[in-house]
Structure 1
Amino acid sequence: MSHPEGARPDASIVRSPRFWLAPIAVVTLLMSLLAALYMGSILDPKSHLRGFPIALVDQDVGDVVDGPDGPVHQNFGHDIAAGLVANIPSDKVDLQQISWAEASSRLDTGDLYGAIVIPSDFTKRTAILAQASVVPGDVERPVITAYTNPRAGSFGVGITQSITGSALAAANETMGKQLSATVTERLAAVAPDATVSGGAAIVLANPIDILALPHNPLPDGTGNGLSAFYFALLLVLAGFTGATVVNTVVDGMLGFAPTEYGPWFVHRDSVGISRFHTLLIKWAIMAILAAVVSALYIWISSALGMPVPNALELWEFGAFVIAAIGITAVSVMAAFGTAGLLVNLLVFVVLALPSSGGAVPIEATPPIYGFLAQFEPMHQVFLGTRAILYFNGSADAGLLHAVSMTSIGLLIGLVIGIVATRFYDRRGLHRVRRTPPSAPAEV
């Protein structure tokens, strides 16, 4: 007895081990990779810290102080700076000795996570403090300011505070011991029976007033520096998810894939259209969607209280990013079929988020994430979004880099789509519904 023409294979395939193992293996491997990458990027940032850029600005001009053999020119700021350079591990922190003008400029472009600033009157104030400990009078402790850069990322603020806080605490202790010994020695030479008062001893033990301040603080409504990361994530998801939806809906309407509406199943007859022209239609839809969704993102974010200082620039960048990612994702699915969805998921989600640098600085993640950040789209999109939202749209703050890298990604997507679909069309590999062959007759 033979099966009727066009009959489908029976349900025996469900009993095949391969039927069960294939989806289980794919999902298990994908989720294992997801867990390893996501958790590995956040669990131990201190051990992975490398090349973390912080500026050291020594403005101290020194002063003439009393020495054992008479007045000498002393510069305590240089001593503090030398101690910081020696004690802050160079394999973890890139401590850059630069001017305040350069440090301020680089803080304003997100190139530095913080700065330690020793003022010009540091030695003078230190000498006055030492003198005031034995001579009555009003005095202010010398100041060192440790700036953080909240616009470079909230996680980076915590790392900067940890580094500068411990380093300056050690410098304060060392300076305190030095001043205490000097004052005690001088006091003994003048009045052998005199001692430093308890209050003066406490001040001398911690002579430096360490101020921790944010450089150019963020306004309210920025999520403590996370709004740029989440907005960038929205742009990437709009491109990736939008491409998946557009690909499915268009294929269903053109008859290249079945569509289900609840209990109803529809599979239209396939339209006589080439793969290349189908791809052009999907690209056009993604371009239109990109402009609309980018505008909606800005409108919704503004309505929720997020400051948008450069709305037009953000809309243009957002539309460009969504279109670039969507066009590339559609091209990948056109080239690889269903497997293209997994490729897109891997590129735009699995590998992208932990290497974005939006949550944890790249300098505080394992080296593999630094490698991925060189080309992964999420990192480029984050840099551009952050530049527009936090750094007044400065090209030097990452916007030019983001646009350049996104353009390269778009070009790659266009090439993949054109080459693959043209090749399939010329080889006669048309997208038509084929009737499965009849099963062999049963004896």
Structure 2
Amino acid sequence: MVLLPLGVLVLLTTLLGIMYLDYVADPEKNLHDFPIALVNRDLGDVADSETQQRVNFGDQISEGLRQRVPADKIDLRMLGINEAEQQMRLGQLYGAIIIPSDFSKRLSILGMGSVIPGDIQQPIITVQTNPRTGAYATQIALRISNEALTAVNKQVGEQLTERVNAQLTQQPGGPPAPELSGASRIVLAQPIQVITEEYYPLPSGSGQGLTAFFYALLLLLAGVVGAMVIHTMIDAQLGFVPTEYGPWYVHYPPTPISRFTTLLIKWGVFVVAANVIAGVFLLVGKLLDMPIDNPLALFLYSVLAMTAVGVTGLSTLAAIGSAGLLVNLILFIILGLPSSGGTVPIEATPRYFGWLAEFEPMHQVYLGVRSILYFDSSFQAGLSRGVWMALLGLAVGLVLGTVFTRFYDRKGLERSNILQD
């Protein structure tokens, strides 16, 4: 009475503590394969009008970024602007560093403008974030980009200052070379202006990219809790378990019905419930002014995801009884939430979370919901994987429940009290 529940509870909470604390303890230490694009559109500029020698500062900065960005943590992808934008639209990039086509030209003009009067424009590098991949992913992309660009900016500033000083001293037979003013030295020391902007900003009511995670969490909880409620209440109505209402105790006579038929009834009730719950969630979202551009797709996917989770949960309970509650809790909740990637990106968690994300239902549901809410229901943005994995989970649940209950029925293993027998 004491040791068994105590042991189960200790093991369960230990697993819970490891999964959830390891998930958030040090995301930057666990950073790996974090995708950021580097787009170099710089066309270069003529460094010497006599020799027509060209210089391309964009290539130098790209090389500097490749050296400074840790390859074991960041997946720095050298992409063209069109490919980078496509991957941003599909949620395959967390950010992009864009060097414009006139970067070298502006940098050269800045160097000349430090000693020659005239209007100049500071060269710009743009850091684009992808807010639809989540607020935490955006912060990581910004920090990595800013750290790398700060170091590169300092290096370019030193080179530009040396170049301007060399040009000033190369005036033989002429008047004394002018000296750089203090203001010019400050500008040349940090010549690059880094601009941060959001690519495809989220509309208001999106919770800074968290509504997809919490909507997916609602679907998962509805599936798990719904399976538990339907399993318990139908068993009570069929007389297999007692029901207590405060001081009142009810235990109906057992109904002569097979295990497989009982499971079919539970599956049917859950399918009906999934359609109703999906409509309720959609209505609540609309009442809260949550932007939902494709309500039909969200409704249909919600029904599919909840049905897959609920059917599998009911089959687990039918196969192993009350112990199925613990299995469902571990499978769908304890292992599912940290590996979902909805708050902290998978690339900022320990690598075994990435392995869990390959099959854990929460991650698949999150990808499907995120695609519908943030990426125009694009199949390439995760909806395809979300749908197929839900169908696979549903098939597994149907096969699991059918095989076990039919086996029990054929063996004559009726639902009865083994102590009384």
Deviations 1:178-211 (A, max 9, x none): 1111112212233545211122111111111111
Which letter maps to 1:289?
A: A
Which residue of 211, 215, 236 maps to 1:231? 215
Q: Alpha-carbon deviation of 1:31?
A: 0.9
1:186-265 equivalence runs, <5 A: 186-190=167-171, 192-265=176-249
Alpha-carbon distance in 1 for matches of 2:417, 2:363: 41
Give secondary structure in 1 for the equivalent of 2:284. Answer: helix
Alpha-carbon distance in 2 for matches of 1:167, 1:349: 38
1:354-433 equivalence runs, <5 A: 354-432=338-416
Determine if contact 2:270/2:311 at 8 Å carries over to the other structure.
Answer: yes
Deviations 1:31-62 (A, max 9, x none): 11101101101111111111111111111111
- Runs of 4+ residues deviating >3 angstroms: 190-193, 432-435
Determine if contact 1:147/1:212 at 8 Å carries over to the other structure.
Answer: yes
1:145 paired to 2:99: no
1:157 paired to 2:109: no
Which residue of 62, 65, 71 maps to 1:90? 71
Alpha-carbon distance in 1 for matches of 2:164, 2:127: 28
1:36-185 equivalence runs, <5 A: 36-66=18-48, 70-185=51-166
Alpha-carbon distance in 2 for matches of 1:155, 1:287: 35
TM-score scaled by length of structure 1 = 0.93
Alpha-carbon distance in 2 for matches of 1:266, 1:389: 46
Q: Alpha-carbon deviation of 1:63?
A: 1.3
Alpha-carbon distance in 1 for matches of 2:22, 2:121: 46
Which stretch of structure 1 is more off in the superposition, 427-436 or 133-142? 427-436
1:267-278 equivalence runs, <5 A: 267-278=251-262
Which letter maps to 1:326?
A: G
Instruction: State the match for 2:16 in structure 1.
Output: 34
Deviations 1:350-383 (A, max 9, x none): 0000000001110110011000000000000000
Instruction: Indicate the RMSD between aligned Cα atoms, in angstroms.
Output: 1.2
Alpha-carbon distance in 2 for matches of 1:388, 1:310: 7
Q: Alpha-carbon deviation of 1:432?
A: 3.5
How many residues in Structure 1 have an aligned counterpart in Structure 2? Answer: 418
Alpha-carbon distance in 1 for matches of 2:84, 2:52: 34
Which residue of 249, 264, 271 maps to 1:280? 264
Alpha-carbon distance in 1 for matches of 2:418, 2:80: 72
Alpha-carbon distance in 2 for matches of 1:311, 1:369: 31
Instruction: State the match for 1:11 in structure 2.
Output: none
Alpha-carbon distance in 2 for matches of 1:398, 1:85: 29
Deviations 1:104-156 (A, max 9, x none): 00000000111111111111111111111110111111111011111011110
Alpha-carbon distance in 2 for matches of 1:400, 1:436: 51
1:322 paired to 2:306: yes
Identify unmatched segments of 5+ residues in structure 2. Answer: none
Q: Alpha-carbon deviation of 1:274?
A: 0.5
1:332-351 equivalence runs, <5 A: 332-351=316-335
Identify unmatched segments of 5+ residues in structure 1. Answer: 1-18, 438-443
Which letter maps to 2:146?
A: G
Alpha-carbon distance in 2 for matches of 1:393, 1:224: 18
Alpha-carbon distance in 2 for matches of 1:65, 1:303: 61
Which letter maps to 2:78?
A: Q
Determine if contact 1:270/1:433 at 8 Å carries over to the other structure.
Answer: no
Q: Alpha-carbon deviation of 1:306?
A: 1.0
Q: Alpha-carbon deviation of 1:255?
A: 0.3
Which letter maps to 1:184?
A: N
Determine if contact 2:115/2:178 at 8 Å carries over to the other structure.
Answer: no
TM-score scaled by length of structure 2 = 0.97
Give secondary structure in 1 for the equivalent of 2:200. Answer: coil
Alpha-carbon distance in 1 for matches of 2:412, 2:167: 97
Which letter maps to 1:354?
A: P
Which letter maps to 1:229?
A: F
Q: Alpha-carbon deviation of 1:294?
A: 0.7
Alpha-carbon distance in 2 for matches of 1:260, 1:70: 94
Identity %: 48
Deviations 1:86-121 (A, max 9, x none): 111111101010111000000000001111111111
Deviations 1:203-259 (A, max 9, x none): 111111111111111011111110000000000000000000000000000001010
